[in-house]
Amino acid sequence: MGGGGISAAFCVHTFIREVMNMIRPMTHRQQLLLASGCGLLFLLAMLLVWMFMLQKEPEEPKALPAETTAVSSETSTESIYSTETTTQTETSTVETTAATTVLTTVTSTTVTTTTTAATTTTTTTQTEVIPVESITLTFYEVQLTIGETAMPIVTMHPENASDKSEIWSTSDNNIASISGWGKITAKAEGECIIRVTSAGNPEVYAEVHVIVTAPPPTEPPTEPPTEPPTEAPVEEPPVTEAPAVQPTYINGILVVNKTYALPADYNPGLDPTCKAQFDILVQAAAAEGLNIYLSSGFRSYDHQARIYNNYLNWYGQEKTDTLSARAGHSEHQTGLAIDVNTITDSFGSTPEAAWLAEHAHEFGFIIRYPKGKEHITGYKYEPWHLRYLGLETAAAVYSSGLTLEEYLGITSCYAE
């Protein structure tokens, strides 16, 4: 039996002895009853002491993070201190000592559990979702003959976007179909729009203007010519060749419209300075949450001829001349013109179109065919068509509120 048990028993024995001395004057029967009651109390006290000694000490808590261990250690220290105090003060009852020990153990368990839960919650992390902000393609316009295929290469920005999945669609599946990975197949004559959309951010997309033409007819085999009857030679008048077409510069500006043409072999490609300034423009628009991209840049003489002839077949001469330039009369052949985004009237109501109308000149561009000036430029309103003039000239034209024809004092009309 431990020291605590012996001390408790000694206290009980002393208490009984003193009581017996006090009851000696009592009758014999009274003494027997009192002694029996004291004996029962003694046995009860010894039983409680025995149960106390058999009680197991609380298990040591498992290893926890630094913060949790510190809290548990402080609680354990308080528990030991409470036990030692109870042992030294022998006037305390066995019931009080047991209650103190049990209460201290429950408190230690509660603190440890709460601290562990808090530590687990703190270490939880979330994965940041980075959306696609813009899409660029290797080309934004393509002309195919029936049966031909093409596939633009798609780049989504930023590079660390969480979801770069693509969704492809076509405005007219009868003219050109599109596969799930972006393969365009020409099916019938006409024009349509192929769109690629970000699956993670459906508000971001890019488009390809597809022009489908019929394959060239197969020439029939030529038959050997029959020799015509011999006739007396006829003298023909001398033929005077028309002067070759040359690029026209007015006040240092290359001018191309219905009045002024370019030669068929003029083939400079997209001007590097024009492209560099356009890239800066795109970045400035993106900083304001706008998506502007190149849909059509340089076009050769032959390319423009195919486009014009397609319009001619659909709309006839008069309307076609308000929608498309004849070969040699297109600003795209200069390498200084860029069509942006969707080449449709709906683009004029977008925030991008409004931003271009207000800020394009800051980067050296003008809206070449503005609204309400069709009778001067010769073409319908094209909010997507930019012409590069350089920073100073573009600012001067913009400030004047005039078209390029009005600014230079020239006309725009075909000779025939």
Contact indicator for 114, 64 with CB cutoff of 8 Å = no
| Residues 375/378/382/388 CA torsion (nearest 10 deg) | -120
Strand-pair partners of 191:
211
- Residue 25: how many other CB atoms lie within 10 Å: 7
Annotated catalytic, 382?
Answer: yes
Cα distances (Å, whole numbers) of residue 413 to 100, 331, 374: 107, 14, 12
- Calpha distance 361→406 (Å, rounded): 17
- Calpha distance 383→397 (Å, rounded): 16
Token pair recorded at residue 174: 């009868």
* Cα 50 versus chain centre, distance: 73
Q: Write the CB contacts of 359 (distance below 8 Å, at least 6 apart in sequence).
A: 281, 284, 285
- Calpha distance 15→26 (Å, rounded): 18
* Cα 398 versus chain centre, distance: 35
Burial (Cβ within 10 Å: 0-12, 13-18, ≥19) of residue 381: middle
- Calpha distance 310→331 (Å, rounded): 18
For residue 158, whether the previous peptide bond is cis, meaning omega lies within 30 degrees of 0, is yes
Specify the 3-state DSSP secondary structure of 160. Answer: coil
Q: Which of 90, 382, 392, 416 is catalytic?
A: 382
Describe the chain by its helix, strand, coil percentages, rounded to 5.
Answer: 45, 15, 40
Q: Where would I find the beta strands (DSSP E) of 358-397?
A: 365-369, 382-388
Token pair recorded at residue 243: 């002067």
Pairing assessment for the beta strands 205-213 and 141-145 based on DSSP bridges: parallel
Q: How many degrees, rounded to 5, is the angle at CA 222 between CA 219 and CA 223? A: 155
Point out the residues that are catalytic: 382
